[in-house]
Structure 1
């Protein structure tokens, strides 16, 4: 048993608790088709979300991020947009969106909407026009059409592969090829074209005029490609670095100029199709668009970029406000590695005056309650199927709660993915015949895909479909074991995951932890020990318990704790506590 009491090393200075809202906000991601169904067709919709906003207000989050609800043929669950200014009938109407926004604002919740600028649907009016117009037409200049290689143009223009598997090029009957970094039905736009840039600035204004508080930018690092679209010998995957995460608990370190060392966790997409310097000109222009509106509107970068110094470029003062910290999400359940990536994150974000934006789960990765239950805890398989190695559900949840309490104890902003406040694991036994993720089909099943983290939420333990839909219908089947995770089975139950999240958010707000500072305390290798304002956060990732000094006042714990004979607080393994510093 280790006793903790040590000097401090300051890493991040505290800020003002009255700064811009996005600097310390906790934002809840809603995946519309899986949050709540108001119509009874088994697919979540905007009226369903509106009816459940009280849940989010009671939880204590500051804002809601809505994944795409735009008009779309749904080839990639709405990330293939056919009309950026309308709601798909699957989810409702523009009037339904306005009602949602009004209700959210009435509850004190800000609303961020998704924007998908790297590509459109193949049913977007621009691509329909381009397909019909033929080679050499002005309509094709808005996309990345090229002639093929080979004697008769029968080979793709380069060797790029789709993130979803297979070639990144598709040939039309007229002989030309078009680029799609994702599915065939998601053609990439040409961001060198002024009409593309003008169109998306107008789309921003359309939603800002309706009252949205910001935009999460999909594939924010992928819009500009290297000149000439050169061949590349690397491999692009949906979740870069999964193999690395399975192989080792140590991060690869890359030396840079001087004494600077930057950590690589495998959370970065590499290659000439990503993180080109030209994207920053776009975001400076978008920053100016948002700055013309009141209310501290925000841009959030989904940029799978490493090292962290490259990620920080997206949140310079004249660009975006937030960028998801995927390096943190990608780090294994290993205290020294987490300490290093947290320290490096503040070093990078502080250098540009931006908040660090923490995240553990989203609609693209296996839920952290399952990842942390794997034999290599925190590794990132591209989905888990019934024939794959199964996570330890109990251990995964214990670690997930501890990881969340660590994350919410850190200064900066944080994102929660719908259902994590219930402790939901992935559905790891989905049969292949119900899967819908294009990554599953384009890889011939080699990647299970993301369906397991997108299963409709359980709201009521004893209702059909666990209360997701008035008819009991669900577009993906729910595990029977989710009955115990239902929201109504956890509300008011001391120690439940829901109540732990709710209490953590209340304490975080009361103690102004989001705008606080961070000082590391020396600790055992398996322990993360830090002070944020007047709160000490101790995360014990090891097997052996640790003891805090006598007199430590417990504010919150991720799981059961005990006391020694002298009254000292004993923190077991895979547990995080907040105590009065």
Structure 2
């Protein structure tokens, strides 16, 4: 591709020949960055009991090795029913540099029950957890209030006593509610599922991401991305045939390359959705897949692990974002962040990208190419080094 302008700089009105016009969407974060602003949250969907906490404490190493810096758990018990098991998990997770966030909702996609909400939150914080997730926020049009929002001030007071965080989810089916929650109900992280709902088209994704950054910057909110559909199907893009799975891999690598925190489902690191109904079974199923894939070049685990390592190395979570104006083909999205060029081919056709840039990572294997070009198959994302 032609000479690229720095992503932190606005394009000049007149560009010299050979210079690519870029459109700055998001500026880099400056200064000290708290962990939640660059979070990689591994979300466990299966409700946890005491044995589940013990099993995860035993296998927490695969979470840390993957590159996740936090886990989100949906407990099926109160802290007093499994205090020793919870303490052991928190201790082991902290030893591996992993934060523990407890969902006050019993299942993903649910709102928080009203019963003793603040008391339960305080009990979890006493166990040493690093965050509280208050679940799905209601539509402000249909349900202007909820137990979690009514108690939000008290929850903020609780976490302010330490360094814990509050997070929540809101469905993008009601974009007015997303905007209102961001403006009126500040939390450390508020994730929405627009990345899982947007059509698989380059222009649609570009428009959606641009709008998301504009809304969040107006509210002073960190971007928080997930490919999990909220309030609907249990998981998002890629739970069907191989085409859908390939698109999910491409979408995941694209999501990892843009600023903000990201949520990954448990099993994403090995390319599966655990079938076990118990937390113990799901953890053991994924742990076994990790043991098989670990060290295997090109495996889903090693590919994702490398991408997360590069994400941390390049500080992509707090980087800038600029769209590149001459993407190779109308179905290709091109963006700049830090020293990376990220390309996603949303079509089913293979394209040839004129570039002598080094390939750092790709969502699937790339065909061999001649010098000065990169062959990008359909439904694939690639990261190219700019330096």
Task: Return the TM-score normalized by structure 2.
Answer: 0.83
Q: Does 1:284 align with 2:284?
A: no
Instruction: Find the aligned partners of 1:537 and 1:26 in 2 and give their Cα distance.
Output: 19
SS at match of 2:195: helix
Secondary structure class of the residue paired with 1:341: helix
For residue 30 of structure 1, report the CA deviation from its aligned partner.
Answer: 2.1
Find 1:95's aligned residue among 39, 62, 84: 84
Q: Are the aligned partners of 1:299 and 1:322 in contact in 2 as well (CA < 8 Å)?
A: yes
**Deviation for aligned residue 1:278:** 9.3
Residue 225 of structure 2 is aligned to residue 358 of structure 1: yes
Describe the SS at the equivalent of 1:398.
helix
Change (3 A) 1:415 1:467: closer
Task: Check whether the contact 1:369–1:425 (CA below 8 A) recurs between aligned residues.
Answer: no
Shift of 1:33: 5.1
Deviation, structure 1 residue 29: 0.9
Question: By how many angstroms is 1:310 displaced?
Answer: 3.1
1:333 to 195, 200, 203: 200
Would you say 1:422 and 2:270 are equivalent positions?
yes
Give the match for residue 113 of structure 1: 102
The alpha-carbon deviation at position 552 of structure 1 amounts to 1.0
The 2-side partners of 1:31 and 1:335 are apart by 30
Provide closer, same or farther for how the CA distance between residues 425 and 526 of structure 1 changes in structure 2, counting only shifts above 3 A: farther
**CA deviation after TM superposition for structure 1 residue 358, in Å:** 0.4
Structure 1 residue aligned with 2:16: none
Q: 1:201 maps to which residue?
A: 118
In the other structure, the counterpart of 1:141 is none
In structure 1, C-alpha distance between the alignment counterparts of 2:165 and 2:140, rounded to whole Å: 26
Alpha-carbon spacing, 1:398–1:306, altered in 2? closer, same or farther (3 Å):
closer
Tell me if 1:531 matches 2:336: yes
Task: Find the partner of 1:217 among 134, 138, 142.
Answer: 134
Quickly say closer, same or farther: Cα 1:218–1:367, change in 2 above 3 A: closer
Structure 1 counterpart SS, 2:80: strand
Q: Write out aligned runs for 1:422-461 (5 A).
A: 422-424=270-272, 456-457=281-282
Q: Report the Cα offset of residue 550 of structure 1.
A: 2.8
* CA deviation after TM superposition for structure 1 residue 497, in Å: 0.8
Q: For 1:423-572, list aligned pairs within 5 A.
A: 423-424=271-272, 456-457=281-282, 486-522=289-325, 523=327, 524-572=329-377
Contact 2:47 2:75 in 1 (8 A): no
SS in structure 2 at match of 1:348? helix
Q: CA deviation at 1:578?
A: 0.6
Partner of 1:124: none
The alpha carbon displacement at 1:32 in A equals 4.5
Mapping of residues 377-388 of structure 1, within 5 Å:
none
**Offset of 1:203 from its aligned partner?**
2.4
Compare the two structures and name the one with the higher helix fraction. Answer: 2
- 3-state SS of paired residue (1:345): helix
Alignment map for 1:32-47 (pairs within 5 Å): 32=46, 45-47=52-54
Q: Match for residue 191 of structure 2?
A: 324
Q: Take 1:426 and 1:362, find their aligned partners in 2: how far apart are those partners?
A: 17
1:17 & 1:209 partners in 2: Cα distance?
A: 30
Paired residue for 1:28, among 42, 62, 81?
42
The match for 2:23 is 9
Q: Give the structure 2 partner of residue 386 of structure 1.
A: none
CA–CA distance in structure 2, aligned partners of residues 416 and 217 of structure 1: 18
- Which string of whole-angstrom CA distances, capped at 9 and with x for unpartnered residues, describes residues 428-462 of structure 1? xxxxxx9xxxxxxxxxxxxxxxx8x99954857xx
Distance 1:18 1:63, change over 3 A: same
What is the Cα deviation at residue 309 of structure 1? 5.3
Identify which of 56, 64, 69 aligns with 1:57: 64
Aligned partners of 1:543 and 1:573 also within 8 Å = yes
* Alignment correspondent of 1:136: none
1:404 to 247, 252, 272: 252
Residues in 1 aligned to 2:380 and 2:129: alpha-carbon distance in whole angstroms: 38
SS in structure 2 of the partner of residue 570 of structure 1? strand
Rg bigger for which structure? 1
Checking the alignment, whether the CA contact within 8 Å between 1:3 and 1:546 is kept in structure 2 is no
Q: Which runs of 5+ in 2 are unaligned?
A: 5-19
Report the TM-score, using the length of structure 1 for normalisation: 0.57
Normalized per residue, the structure richer in strand is 2
Displacement of 1:401 in angstroms is 1.2
2:80 corresponds, among 77, 86, 104, to 86
The runs of 5 or more residues in structure 1 that have no matched partner are: 40-44, 71-83, 88-92, 119-162, 164-180, 190-195, 222-268, 372-390, 428-433, 435-450, 461-465, 469-485
Q: List per-residue Cα deviations over 1:78-120 (Å, max 9, x = no partner).
A: xxxxxx4433xxxxx21011110011011110000011399xx
Distance 1:313 1:355 in 2: 15
Contact 1:518–1:531 at 8 Å: present in 2 too?
yes
Q: Residue by residue, what CA displacement relative to the aligned partner does 1:113-151 show, whole Å, maximum 9, x if unpaired? A: 011399xxxxxxxxxxxxxxxxxxxxxxxxxxxxxxxxx
- CA displacement at 1:316 relative to structure 2: 4.8
What do you get for the CA RMSD once the two structures are aligned? Answer: 3.4
- CA–CA distance in structure 2, aligned partners of residues 47 and 67 of structure 1: 14
